[in-house]
Structure 1
Amino acid sequence: MSFAQLALQSVEFAHPGMTAPLFTDLTVQFPSGWTGIVGPNGAGKTTLLKVVTGELAVQSGSVHRQGLALYVAQRTDEPPEMFEDFIWAPDATVLKARLRVSEDWPDRWSTLSHGERKRAQIAVALWREPAVLALDEPSNHIDADARRLLLLALTEFTGIGLLVSHDRALLDELCTQCLIIDPPDAVMRPGGVTEAMEQQDSEEKSARHADDIMRRTENRLRDEAQRRRVVAEQKSAASRGSKQIKIPINDHDGRAQRNLAKMSGKDAYAGKMVAQMNQRAGKVATQRSETTLKKRYETGIWVDGASYMPRDFLLRLPAGSLPLGGGRHLNFPDLEIGGTSRIAITGANGLGKSTLINHLLAHLQLPEEKLVSVPQEISAEDSRVLLEAVKRLPNDERGRVMTTISRLGSRPARLLESALPSPGEVRKLLLAIGIVRGPHLIVMDEPTNHMDLPGIMCLEGALVDCPCAMLLVSHDEEFLKKITAIEWHLSRDGTGDTRLEIVA
């Protein structure tokens, strides 16, 4: 591996059509080891990875890197570059065994699960020994066992690693620092994502507390200035009345004259104090204006209009078998989805979970508009088509969709400006479109894949309270435990086939 070096100097970048850049004057240096790249969907995390690896050119500023830089994409549509070379390379044996990559995978890429494809992407990238390795959601799709293998492989990487992930545990286990992106700003913080976010929250709370004190001080000074102005005006009116009174001829000791002079002096002092109060209030206001407070948006969604299906069952499927390729089959017993069912489909990669989902979707007894279906992956072209369709929605419906997007932690304006939404934003779009139509059933294949951390928390809260049936495929046990009541578990039997067991 060649000497690793990576630094950004005054970088600015905006995609075509954007009214504001994603990054402005971004200066940061990345050391050896893993740096987490953290931020909401659409904040520019993937863009930053492509900028640092040279896949995108900046509008201004410079990127200094030395050695081979590789970007491993979120999407798994295409086989990785040099896949065939990797399969037959003598020095790839250990990586193939560690990440369980089979020699026939290049020939049957289209039949591989997305988890298997993800392992292949990362194995090839590590085999090429880059100086800079930028991973975009590497733990998407993979099961718990494969995740342990992945963590071990990434821990042994000695170059400069950049990690975009929704997996909080992975970020904490691997990263020694995190770059927190919140356009147009990006701040480097020490530690994994938990430590970095706690530090950010603490600083924001301190800043808001200081701002609150300054706001109250400014208001108190202005209120006091106003009170003194009223008193001064009252005294000034009294003074003008006094000046109209003739000083007695017999004012031999000059008492009346002195009293009139005192009153005039007090008028001048009162006016001076009002001016000083206003000046102090102005200084506090200036200080407040120079304090940066991040705008925080309301999050958390509700599934408006969702309802349980008035009939008992949305699906009844007799026992059967599905082909999985390579002569293998998925064998299942009688299956039912009731109007109030909350079902989790679990099992290792490659056992046919997505195949089962597609088969179930084809046999549902449900109006299309009452189904929310979010697949495991959405191609780039389908993502473009979806975004254009959303832009053409009637204003009121588009407004409801964008409100839901905002409450899932993404910025609607930035999303509508983009030519290609991020995979996380696409999942939020599909979910939002379905939610505003009041679903009877929500089907999600790996619902937390590509989603940012705030979005996952909002999604979890919404699904827990949603009054409709649910079918979720996920490796996230904690996520499923909070939402579902029945488990359909897939495992391999003694013949190599997959069997489905219903666990109440």
Structure 2
Amino acid sequence: MASAQLTLQSVEFAHPGMTAPLFTDLTVQFPSGWTGIVGPNGAGKTTLLKVATGELAPQSGVVHRQGLALYVAQRTDDPPEFFEDFVWAADAGVLKARLRIGEDWPERWATLSHGERKRAQIAVALWREPVVLALDEPSNHIDSDARRLLWQALRDFGGVGLLVSHDRTLLDELCPQCLLLDPPEAVMRPGGVTEALKQQELDEKSAHSASEALRRSANRLQAEAQRRRVIADQKAAAARGSKQKKIPAHDHDGRAMRNLAKLTGKDAYAGRMVAQMSQRASKVAAQRAEIAVKKRYETGIWVEGASFMPRDFLLRLPAGHLPLGGGRALHYPDLAIGGTSRIALKGANGLGKSTLVRHLLGQLQLPAEKVVTVPQEISAEESRALLEAVKRLPNDERGRVMTTISRLGSRPARLLESALPSPGEVRKLLLAIGIVRGPHLIVMDEPTNHMDLPGIVCLEEALADCPCAMLLVSHDESFLAKITDTDWLLVRDTAGDSRLEIRAVT
């Protein structure tokens, strides 16, 4: 597959109901190896993967590809196609071992963690040996050990790989180039995401500087044209005054006539200079109009009008245990969540983090509207229902929700006209709805999953300043280190059960 290629030529695509296409005249060639697809939520990253693999047909343009093309979705609701065939295939042993896939997983899909489901999706896709493989957030839900296994498996892929991920390290390690999407633009840049975004920032700063320089030049030319226009008007008035004067009888040499001719000539010259200055100003303005300067939106999630009233304790729970299935249990000590607690719930996949969160939420003595809950996954049906509920909100509340969405890096208008919001946009919606109602507690299960890179940075900054309690479940150590001060760590004991240990972060 060394010579495999994928080309999109003059592709245009718009979802039903959109006022403007996501892509217009998109032409890009993807070489063998991995290409990162980077952009804000709602920019069309998932749509591009589906168009590239044939899951969606463009309204115009052509997609050139040969051989099998597969798209691996963000969502993990359903088992992947051919999962049972893969589990029992004689040639799947290496992949099953590498990604630690259990032979009983097809039968107990409903009990698998989302991290285990994600590994299964990717393993089946690699086993089918596609020429084009498009992965949508492959590191979602995956712990650090599984992430290393995933990286090794993806590194050996020899076809054309398209990778949408919020994981900077994965994009930097795997991708020699990145396609940066920001409709209607799509720009291929060399290097991993760090290098590509750095170059984009430099180019944007250069464009802004050039635009500002041309703006100042245009203003100077317009000011000079105005100054000369005033002078020309004054001279024209003087010329008209001289015309009205009678030529004295003794002026036999026509001196007055010559002076009038001089005034008239100067008037015409001044008029030409005014026209020249105005023309130069127009040319500079036209040059400035050709420079694309990105609009940057205000960030910061805590919108004006939100109120927060943290209590001393939002939860006190005596020691106990929870069943995990298969005869295993999760044992926990006395637990408490204070009004301003910053708790990180950590542990490998399958130890019961989500089970514990569900149990804690059921024990809270708080009004539902004062708890922001963002689960690992939200189904497509729930996502549609959430967006429709937001559209029905009173105007002032919907406006505050949309302001928060904008500050998390998504465009409200594009979101409201979509039929099915992206998983990242759904997470932002859930968070925004809760924030504007003034929560006492924020609970997020894998908060960076599905989020775009600008949104993650904004979320980090916002949660670091959070005036209420929070419980964050994540494998992203750098994200947690900037926000939390207490670790609830799940570990496996010698009997195979899970145990929760509480540690203060130093």
Regarding TM over 0.5, the answer is yes
Question: SS of 1:496's equivalent?
Answer: coil
Task: Quote how far apart the aligned CAs of 1:232 are.
Answer: 1.1
1:3–1:131 contact (8 Å) kept in structure 2: no
2:323 is the counterpart of 1:323: yes
Partner of 2:310: 309
Partner of 2:481: 481
Greater Cα offset, 289-298 or 489-498: 289-298
**Distance in 1 (alpha carbons) for counterparts of 2:25 and 2:239:** 60
**Distance in 2 (alpha carbons) for counterparts of 1:211 and 1:5:** 38
Partner of 2:385: 385
**Distance in 1 (alpha carbons) for counterparts of 2:299 and 2:62:** 36
Task: Quote how far apart the aligned CAs of 1:292 are.
Answer: 2.4
Q: Aligned partner of 1:114: which letter?
A: H
Task: Quote how far apart the aligned CAs of 1:2 are.
Answer: 9.5
Partner of 1:396: 396
2:7–2:30 contact (8 Å) kept in structure 1: yes
What is the CA deviation profile of residues 355-405 of structure 1, one whole-angstrom value per residue up to 9, with x for unaligned ones? 000000000011111100100111111111111111111111111111111
Q: Aligned partner of 1:307: which letter?
A: F
What RMSD in Å do the two structures reach over aligned CA positions? Answer: 1.3
Task: Quote how far apart the aligned CAs of 1:306 are.
Answer: 4.1
Task: Quote how far apart the aligned CAs of 1:303 are.
Answer: 5.4
Partner of 1:90: 90
2:280 is the counterpart of 1:280: yes
Question: SS of 1:66's equivalent?
Answer: coil
**Distance in 2 (alpha carbons) for counterparts of 1:17 and 1:277:** 47
Partner of 1:193: 193
**Distance in 1 (alpha carbons) for counterparts of 2:148 and 2:11:** 36
Q: CA, structure 1 residues 285+108, in 2 after alignment: closer, same or farther (shift >3 Å)?
A: same
1:143–1:348 contact (8 Å) kept in structure 2: yes
Question: SS of 1:443's equivalent?
Answer: strand
**Distance in 2 (alpha carbons) for counterparts of 1:393 and 1:454:** 27
Partner of 2:412: 412
What is the CA deviation profile of residues 91-136 of structure 1, one whole-angstrom value per residue up to 9, with x for unaligned ones? 1111111111111111111111101111111111111111000000
2:415–2:421 contact (8 Å) kept in structure 1: yes
Q: Aligned partner of 2:314: which letter?
A: L
Matches within 5 A, 1:76-87: 76-87=76-87
**Distance in 2 (alpha carbons) for counterparts of 1:216 and 1:273:** 20
1:308–1:469 contact (8 Å) kept in structure 2: no
**Distance in 2 (alpha carbons) for counterparts of 1:187 and 1:234:** 54
Question: SS of 2:295's equivalent?
Answer: coil
2:230 is the counterpart of 1:233: no
Q: Aligned partner of 1:37: which letter?
A: I
Gaps of 5+ in 1: none
Task: Quote how far apart the aligned CAs of 1:427 are.
Answer: 0.2
- Normalising by structure 1, we get a TM-score of 0.98
Question: SS of 1:362's equivalent?
Answer: helix
Question: SS of 1:323's equivalent?
Answer: strand
Question: SS of 1:171's equivalent?
Answer: helix
After TM superposition, the runs of 4+ consecutive aligned structure 1 residues lying more than 6 A away are none
**Distance in 1 (alpha carbons) for counterparts of 2:126 and 2:75:** 18
Task: Quote how far apart the aligned CAs of 1:235 are.
Answer: 1.4
2:72 is the counterpart of 1:104: no
**Distance in 1 (alpha carbons) for counterparts of 2:182 and 2:314:** 43
Task: Quote how far apart the aligned CAs of 1:417 are.
Answer: 0.9
1:303–1:438 contact (8 Å) kept in structure 2: no
1:330–1:499 contact (8 Å) kept in structure 2: yes
What is the CA deviation profile of residues 279-317 of structure 1, one whole-angstrom value per residue up to 9, with x for unaligned ones? 11111122222222222222222155242423x211111
Question: SS of 1:161's equivalent?
Answer: strand
Gaps of 5+ in 2: none
Task: Quote how far apart the aligned CAs of 1:137 are.
Answer: 0.1
Partner of 2:141: 141
Q: Aligned partner of 2:498: which letter?
A: T
Question: SS of 1:398's equivalent?
Answer: helix
Partner of 1:439: 439
Task: Quote how far apart the aligned CAs of 1:253 are.
Answer: 4.5
**Distance in 1 (alpha carbons) for counterparts of 2:478 and 2:309:** 24
**Distance in 1 (alpha carbons) for counterparts of 2:481 and 2:188:** 34
Q: Aligned partner of 1:57: which letter?
A: A
**Distance in 1 (alpha carbons) for counterparts of 2:405 and 2:277:** 46
1:353–1:473 contact (8 Å) kept in structure 2: yes
Partner of 1:256: 256
**Distance in 2 (alpha carbons) for counterparts of 1:457 and 1:24:** 29
Task: Quote how far apart the aligned CAs of 1:145 are.
Answer: 1.0
**Distance in 1 (alpha carbons) for counterparts of 2:256 and 2:2:** 95
2:372–2:434 contact (8 Å) kept in structure 1: yes
Partner of 2:361: 361
Partner of 1:220: 220
Task: Quote how far apart the aligned CAs of 1:231 are.
Answer: 1.0
Partner of 1:452: 452
Q: Aligned partner of 1:17: which letter?
A: G
Partner of 1:207: 207
Q: Aligned partner of 1:293: which letter?
A: V
Partner of 1:40: 40
**Distance in 2 (alpha carbons) for counterparts of 1:295 and 1:419:** 26
Q: Aligned partner of 2:40: which letter?
A: P
**Distance in 2 (alpha carbons) for counterparts of 1:58 and 1:151:** 31
**Distance in 2 (alpha carbons) for counterparts of 1:398 and 1:303:** 13
**Distance in 2 (alpha carbons) for counterparts of 1:260 and 1:380:** 83
Partner of 2:242: 242
Partner of 2:70: 70
1:306–1:467 contact (8 Å) kept in structure 2: no
1:400–1:436 contact (8 Å) kept in structure 2: yes
**Distance in 1 (alpha carbons) for counterparts of 2:484 and 2:108:** 34
Q: Aligned partner of 2:202: which letter?
A: S
Q: CA, structure 1 residues 303+470, in 2 after alignment: closer, same or farther (shift >3 Å)?
A: farther
1:488–1:500 contact (8 Å) kept in structure 2: yes
Task: Quote how far apart the aligned CAs of 1:263 are.
Answer: 1.4
Partner of 2:334: 334
Q: CA, structure 1 residues 171+451, in 2 after alignment: closer, same or farther (shift >3 Å)?
A: same
2:3–2:32 contact (8 Å) kept in structure 1: no
What is the CA deviation profile of residues 142-192 of structure 1, one whole-angstrom value per residue up to 9, with x for unaligned ones? 011111111111111000000000111111110011111111221111111
Matches within 5 A, 1:24-63: 24-63=24-63
Aligned residues: 503
**Distance in 2 (alpha carbons) for counterparts of 1:206 and 1:340:** 43
**Distance in 1 (alpha carbons) for counterparts of 2:257 and 2:303:** 80
Identity rate of aligned residues, in percent?
81
Partner of 1:292: 292
**Distance in 2 (alpha carbons) for counterparts of 1:275 and 1:6:** 53
Q: CA, structure 1 residues 439+315, in 2 after alignment: closer, same or farther (shift >3 Å)?
A: same
Q: Aligned partner of 2:100: which letter?
A: R
What is the CA deviation profile of residues 248-302 of structure 1, one whole-angstrom value per residue up to 9, with x for unaligned ones? 3333454433222211111111011001111111111222222222222222221
**Distance in 2 (alpha carbons) for counterparts of 1:317 and 1:204:** 52
2:2–2:32 contact (8 Å) kept in structure 1: no
Q: Aligned partner of 1:444: which letter?
A: M
Question: SS of 1:7's equivalent?
Answer: strand
**Distance in 1 (alpha carbons) for counterparts of 2:253 and 2:216:** 50
Task: Quote how far apart the aligned CAs of 1:211 are.
Answer: 1.1
**Distance in 2 (alpha carbons) for counterparts of 1:429 and 1:94:** 41
